[in-house]
Structure 1
Amino acid sequence: MSFTTAAAHSLPAAILVEVGDGERWAPVTGAAVAWADTSDRPAVVTFDAVRGCRPRLTLTSSRPGEVQGAVRISRLEA
């Protein structure tokens, strides 16, 4: 996924990846993020193989409550 970094947007402090099986959500194992060094360039999230029907990403702001803490995903590919 690609993030916009600018005056009002920053990279998240953390990304939690979970997978749903239709009834519950479970965090994936082995998650790692290779952050991009430029705005709107892909950051790559990898994790161990998992079986499920839908992914969920929870992003934690690096600056909660501040204008600069907004997170903007400009592109998402799976």
Structure 2
Amino acid sequence: MADDSQQILPEVRLVKPGETHRLCRCGHSPDMPNCTSNCAHSLILRPEREQRLLLCRCNRSANLPYCDGSHSPPATGLADRWRRFFRVR
């Protein structure tokens, strides 16, 4: 596990109706969480409502393209779970 200065945090992306997003599900994209156009495993997302997505950039999530907190050690409480997604300065 990398220390906090090297930790790759998830991307919070606002998606809106009418947009199309090609997201990586295999973890091989050089531009995580976006996917290349020639990948057969990509997720094509066309949102029906405006929402914010928490997208994995570390390739450790078991639920790609979505972040599941795998970039951080296990958390014991609710406050620790939330800290996994934000860098404290």
Higher helix share: 2
Q: Give the number of the structure whose residues are more often strand, by fraction.
A: 1
TM-score by length of 1: 0.30
Q: Which has the higher contact order (CA 8 A, sep 6+)?
A: 1
TM-score normalised per structure 2? 0.28
